[in-house]
A = this chain, B = another copy of it.
């Protein structure tokens, strides 16, 4: 599943860190393809999934029934390529990389989906855990994937989502290694941001999630744990892509894992306390 081949952008790049969201979107529209962790500090990132209107109710219900992996930030009207979350954005061009799906199979990974677009597509923008990484960093929690200049590792778990209509599938998680002395802060800081997945769904032994080998993520890059690091797992917005695969959705467009949509919304906007 992990077909993306280009090297990641320099994730700790000071310049990308300081971009405004509109600048980031413009750069991605112009062809920059790297993962978006660390880009446009303090802003909310979003997963994208666009499905035909005939599938929109099932997808919205799937999200409602599985709010940890699928917290919905916005849903567009059918055919619209804009969102209230980002002034002047075009959802067809402004992400670094997309995935195009037919009958649950990945058929293309373009950097622009204007050629694939259909007027019956309803787009879902779903909260992304990259958003709470600013809060983690501010609380002193090390972010190993940024330190190692990699995309965050993501795993398909053995935990099944609650089905909705024709949609079913497993929960996908992202993993960040956390030193024990930082675990409390990591849980506290993320728990107050349910719109971008909230607190961890699991800490420790990956086999509880049916994950056999942390070194072989299903999406993103493997990340090395420091001695004593605890693997901490958050629900992930790639979960709808797993549902597209498991359910054989006839057509869908999504972001490529780790290549998110940059919204204008401040991360604080989704902080509950």
Please list the residues of chain A having a beta carbon within 8 angstroms of any beta carbon in chain B: 56-57, 60-61, 64-65, 72, 75, 191-192, 194, 198, 272-273
Integer count of this chain's copies in the complex: 2
Q: Which residues of B contact A56 (CB under 8 A)?
A: 57
Q: Which residues of B contact A75 (CB under 8 A)?
A: 61, 64-65
Given contacts A61-B75, A192-B273, A198-B272, 8 further A-B contacts (CB under 8 A): A56-B57, A57-B60, A60-B60, A64-B75, A65-B75, A191-B272, A194-B272, A272-B272
A192 to B194, CA, bound (A): 11
CB-based contact A192/B272 at 8 Å: yes
Q: Which residues of B contact A273 (CB under 8 A)?
A: 191-192, 272-273
Q: Which residues of B contact A64 (CB under 8 A)?
A: 60, 64, 72, 75
A272 to B192, CA, bound (A): 6
Could you jot down 7 A-B contacts, CB within 8 Å? Answer: A65-B75, A191-B272, A192-B272, A194-B194, A194-B272, A198-B272, A272-B273
Residue of B nearest to A272 (CB): B272
A75 to B272, CA, bound (A): 24
A183 to B192, CA, bound (A): 21
A110 to B272, CA, bound (A): 38
A35 to B67, CA, bound (A): 30
A48 CB, min distance to chain B CBs, angstroms: 16
A63 CB, min distance to chain B CBs, angstroms: 8
A83 CB, min distance to chain B CBs, angstroms: 12
A57 to B56, CA, bound (A): 8
A72 to B75, CA, bound (A): 15
Residue of B nearest to A193 (CB): B272
A61 to B72, CA, bound (A): 10
Ranked 6 nearest A-B pairs via Cβ: A273-B273, A57-B57, A272-B272, A192-B273, A60-B60, A64-B72
Q: Which residues of B contact A198 (CB under 8 A)?
A: 272
A60 to B75, CA, bound (A): 11
Q: Which residues of B contact A272 (CB under 8 A)?
A: 191-192, 194, 198, 272-273
Residue of B nearest to A77 (CB): B165
Residue of B nearest to A191 (CB): B273
A140 CB, min distance to chain B CBs, angstroms: 19
A64 CB, min distance to chain B CBs, angstroms: 5
A64 to B124, CA, bound (A): 11
A164 CB, min distance to chain B CBs, angstroms: 8
Q: Which residues of B contact A194 (CB under 8 A)?
A: 194, 272
A268 CB, min distance to chain B CBs, angstroms: 13
Residue of B nearest to A163 (CB): B77
Residue of B nearest to A57 (CB): B57
